[in-house]
Structure formats: structure tokens, C-alpha cells
Structure 1
């Protein structure tokens, strides 16, 4: 039997290119876990946006090293740094990668980037061109389906065995220590509060603060939960707007803290209500029940897989607060329709 591409890698090194933000990166965790299981002795290097150095540290069970990507004129995630391009690609070619794995979408731009890494093999979705490697493994890009499963399908085609599609978000001692220093969790007992996250990476994805406040008040008055308003320090104005519309008191936790410390705060909550943004995937990794409100994004691609724990509602007009509240109440009561995402994958 002909060896699979991953069998050819053996104990060599693999460059994984995925230069995206938090939610997109979290969707890749099941595939990274499967890749590590298939290549226990290989050196796996994540090539991503500079912020993702912290992602690589958190998932060090699957990632051995990190290299910051200096951007590309045709990729929107960050401005390209022209002065850093030559040094970056020279560094990549000097690494002598056995495999360069493109996990950055359909490949129209990213396959050319990965092809310049000079690996012995290149793999990814889409037609691969302009490659400096000896062997190319290209697969048709799936236009439908959840993002974690698309990425799992890619590593399975390369020879990895897939045993689970579960999400995970490991918490570290430094997360808990930082949370304690902020004082944001002072007086909050585990299971006594709900987190309401009104922000998102782009403001056009945000549900109206008045609607968040309406749901938060009912969680406080009808279910006896304290309301904790989470978000980055740059989203404090959104938390203030939610609090201004509320009748119940709220804890504003939009103080300067890392994503890890915020996740530690969420770990003790009974429920999260949020926009379609990275924290919804943190909740999936923590096993925290959540109601996720979508405005523009594809629910089929970006919703958490476990629909028993995570209820997703499309509401671009900001008028479905009663539906959001009904789903929140169902989650608090422990009702559920089963893990449809896991069933789809298993079939």
C-alpha cells in the first residue's frame, strides 16, 4: 500500500499556515489535535498572525513552534510588511520543512504563499501552483459545512485518523493568576452568574445593547443570576451601553485582561450570551452553554458544532430578544435536542 503523505513526514517538520484571528484559529484545534496524533514525533510549526504566538503557547500539546507571518497585499487580516518579506521567506526555506500545510481557506492566495516555503511536500485545498516543492497534494475546497469539519477532512485526506471533533480551550495557571489580579471575579461564585458579551471584532456584527440588556435583566430577575459584562478593554463602551439600559445591577468586567483570563472568568458562568465572535468558540472549548446571535456570517459554517449546548439565532435586525431569551431559558433548564454537529460528523 502506498504510504500516505503524513507517513512520508515521519519525524520531520511541518509548517501549518493559518494566519487568522481567534475564532478562526479555535476552529482549527480539532485538526491540529488529529495532526499531532498522526505525527507524534514531528516538529509542528504554526505560521500565523503575530498575536497567535499566544495561541501556539496555549496549544503546545499540538504546536512545537511559531513563526510570525508578515502579511500579504492580497490578504486582509493585516497590512503587509514589505521590508520583512525577503527575510521571512528565506527563514522558511532554511527550515527544511517536510510538509507545508495550507489551512488558510480555499487557496487562491494562500497556496502561492505556502508554495514559497520550499517544503518537500505541499498540501491544501484548491489548485496548488507556483510551488517549489517536490510533491503537491491538492483537494477540492468544500463550499459548505462547519469550519472545524472542513479542516478535519483535509488532515484525514492526508492520512490522519479522526477520533473526535470536540473543541477545547485549555486554561493555564497564568490565566487564573491574571484573573485574580484584575479583581473581575471577586465575589462571583461558580454557577452564580451569566456572562453577556456585547462586542465583536467588527462592530457591524454586534447585536444592539438594548437587546442584550433586555435579556440580561430577565436572567437576573427571573433566574437569580448575576450579570457579568465581558469584553476587551476597547469594548468597555458597549458594556457601558448595556448596563445603562439594564434595571438590574451588572458587573462590568471589560478591564484590561488577556483572552485566557477572560476565558477563566467565563469558566465559572452558567451561561454566555454573545455575538458571533471568538468567544463563542471559547465557550465551545470550555463546555459553557451559550446563545450566539448571528447578523451576517454563515451559521452553517461558524456555529459551534454542539447544538445541545450552543443555540444559534440569526437576527440582523435586532428584533428577536424573546427568542434569544427562550433559548437561554431552555439551556438553563438543561433542555436540548442532541449534538447534531457530532452526529453529522459521525455519519
Structure 2
């Protein structure tokens, strides 16, 4: 009888969205279990949104080798002690390929452990499978559910929307006079500089789409304002709105669902577009597209160049960023126009500048 389950996955939004199908399968297999996510502090909002899948968040204190937080092992002893008192029936290492992540989970003292093994890692007691390096990200976590005897055949992402999310989206549409029939969202930010297509190229794409009669909304977190402000300046006088820092996750997801297209880097909003079934053009710089690209290749078109240094392990590219610079504005515009519906409006810029 499995009544208490711990899942270790201390990662950011896009990573968390990719494991939703596995969490959905786990909940279906154990509908009455108390499922605890051991994750980053921000994930309290994730747990609130996915309350049907996860019951509780336990913030991970951080550890050496885990760069999402301060890299220190100082908080591990008290963390392990608290987790051992929980007497978990099952602890799942859903964080990554194995190694130290498995050590952390084993120290929690669960009755059964499950996870992944690196190629040179010795077999561990429990349910462990070799890290499925050739599978897309979503399928990797479903594979571990399969090893646990859980049916995990579905790979669809989803983001449940609350009434508050829907109200926020309605307010945005009204306050900024957004027309969902012409709306294109442009998201130029990404956590790592090495994953960003140049802002000036996003600006050229946005300006060209505005010329063609599409309404542009720039999205991003407040911390990405230095990136989006460059694009906003280029769009002055056009039918364009800067929403940087003005949306919650749920409000953004609801807005994505209303938009005709998302143009973005390979980052969290790409997974939001996949979850909301909105077409996208994803400029993938540095990342492993085999792993991270959306599974629906018709709805979501990924543009990528493959120099020998890819996939990239750098925060800042030391080689001149060829994977980004080799994707042209013309390529992105060609794919964007192919993804957009036939316009039902006259191409008439609002201002002469545009």
C-alpha cells in the first residue's frame, strides 16, 4: 500500500511543465496517496495550480551541484531528518539523470526509491532505469512511471486555468485593447543568455508582422524588461503593447490561449504554448531540441542551427553564438506567416512609422 509519495524535482517552470503528464499518471495510479513535491520555493504556485496532482510542497534547501539555488550542503542534514520522519512509502528522483540526485533521495529513507541511472552508475536498490537520453523530455518521465507499473501513455501538457486567470486575461484584453483575432505574442527572454536569439532580430520580426497588420504584444518577466524595452522602442507608433512584467503565469497562459501565434526562444513560454494548443515559432539556441522541442511538430515549428558545440552547457556562449546568429529574420518570418491564419483584415498600419 502506497500512501505517502515524495517527488524530487527542484527546477524551473518549463521543466516542471514537462513532468505534468508523469504526475497525472502517478495520481491516477494512486488517487488517495499524499504526494509531496520537493522543489524550489517558487513552486508553491505550481502546487496550488496542480492541486489535483500534488498535495504539498517541501522546499529543497539546495546542495552542491544544483545551480538553481545557492550551492551549499548546509541544509541537507536537517532536510534529511525531516524527510525521514515522514516515512515515505515511495520517493521518486524525477530531477535528472542520476548521481548526486539519487544520493539525496536515498537519504530520505523511503521504503522504496525510484529514479534514473547515469551510464557509469552502479545499480541501486529500488526501481531505477538507465537515463533515456534519446527520448523527448516528457517521455523520459513517463518512462519511469512505466517502470513503476503505471500507465503513462499520454504526453499532452495542460495548464489548468482558474477564474482569476480568466478574469486577468479579460482585463488585459480590455485594458490594452488587444484583438485576439490579430494577436501575436513575442517573447524574447530566456533565463540563460546562451538560449536567447538577439533582441534586435525579435524586433525586426515584430515590426514586420506589425506592418502586415498583426497586433504585437511583448511578454516576459519584470527582470526581462532590459531585453523587451529594446523591442518596444523599435515598435513605437505601431499596433504593439509591452506587457513585460504585467502578467501572472495563469494570466499569461490564458492570453496565450487567445493569441494566434507565439514567437519565442526555447524557454518556458514554449511549453505554455504547447499546453494551451496555440501555434508557435520557437527559435532554439543552444538547447537540445531532440529533448526539449514540443512534440507536435506541426503546431509548433522549431528553428535551430547545429554547430559542433551544441547542445550547449554554457550560460554565456564563448564562441560568438553561431547557433543563434545562423537563424535569420527571414527564416523566422517565413515560418511565422506559414503558421498564422489567412488574415481577415486589411493591411493598414495605424501610424505612418509602422
Coarse TM-score class (shorter-chain normalised)? 0.7 to 0.9
Residue 221 of structure 1 deviates from its aligned partner by 2.1
Which residue number in structure 2 is paired with residue 19 of structure 1? Answer: 10
Within a 5 Å distance, the mapping from 1:191-202 to structure 2 comes to 191-202=181-192
Instruction: Judge conservation of contact 2:184–2:216 (CA < 8 Å) in 1.
Output: yes
Q: Is the 8 A contact 1:197 1:229 kept in 2?
A: yes
Q: CA deviation at 1:180?
A: 6.0
Q: Name 1:240's counterpart in structure 2.
A: 229
Identify if the C-alpha distance between structure 1 residues 126 and 228 changes in structure 2 by more than 3 Å, giving closer, same or farther. Answer: same
Q: How many equivalent residue pairs?
A: 321
2:249 corresponds to which residue?
259
Distance 1:333 1:189 in 2: 14
The answer to whether the aligner puts 1:167 opposite 2:168 as a matched pair is: no
1:87 paired with 2:78, answer yes
Cα displacement (A) at 1:260:
2.1
Q: CA deviation at 1:216?
A: 1.3
Cα gap change, 1:48/1:227 in structure 2, threshold over 3 Å: closer, same or farther? same
Q: Does 1:217 align with 2:207?
A: yes
The alpha carbon displacement at 1:264 in A equals 2.4
1:121 and 1:129 mapped to 2: Cα distance? Answer: 17
Name the counterpart of 1:332: 340
Which residue, 265, 288, 292 being the options, matches 2:282? 292
Q: Per-residue deviation at 1:149?
A: 0.5
* 1:78-157 pair list within 5 angstroms: 78-80=69-71, 82-126=73-117, 136-157=126-147
Residue-by-residue CA offset, 1:118-164 (whole Å, 9 max, x unaligned)? 10000111178798xxx511111112121000111110111111241
1:47 aligns with 2:31: no
For the residue of structure 2 that corresponds to 1:155, the secondary structure is: helix
Residue 329 of structure 2 corresponds to residue 321 of structure 1: yes
Report the TM-score when normalising by structure 1.
0.86
C-alpha deviation, 1:21, in angstroms: 0.7
Task: Describe the SS at the equivalent of 1:316.
Answer: helix
Which secondary structure state, in structure 1, belongs to the residue aligned with residue 67 of structure 2?
Answer: coil
Distance 1:94 1:258, change over 3 A: same
* Matches of 2:250 and 2:75, distance apart in 1: 29
TM-score normalized by structure 2?
0.85
Distance 2:140 2:39 in 1: 19
C-alpha separation between the residues in 2 aligned to 1:333 and 1:187? 21
User: Offset at 1:266?
Assistant: 2.0
Rounded Cα–Cα distance in structure 2 between residues aligned with 1:185 and 1:280: 25
**Equivalent of residue 34 in structure 1, options 9, 25, 33:** 25
- Cα separation, 2, equivalents of 1:303 and 1:85: 34
Deviation, structure 1 residue 218 = 2.4
Aligned partner of residue 68 in structure 2, secondary structure: coil
Matches of 2:246 and 2:176 in 1, distance apart?
A: 16
Q: Structure 2: any 5+ residue segments left out of the alignment?
A: 305-322, 343-354
Q: Distance in 2 between matches of 1:59 and 1:192?
A: 31
Query: Which secondary structure does the structure 2 equivalent of 1:195 belong to?
Result: strand
**Residue 74 of structure 1: how far off its partner (Å):** 1.8
Shift of 1:84: 3.2
Distance 1:184 1:56 in 2: 30
Aligned partners of 2:62 and 2:75 also within 8 Å: no
Aligned-CA RMSD value: 2.2
Equivalent-residue separation in structure 2 for 1:183 and 1:322 (angstroms): 30
For 1:341, the equivalent position in structure 2 comes to none
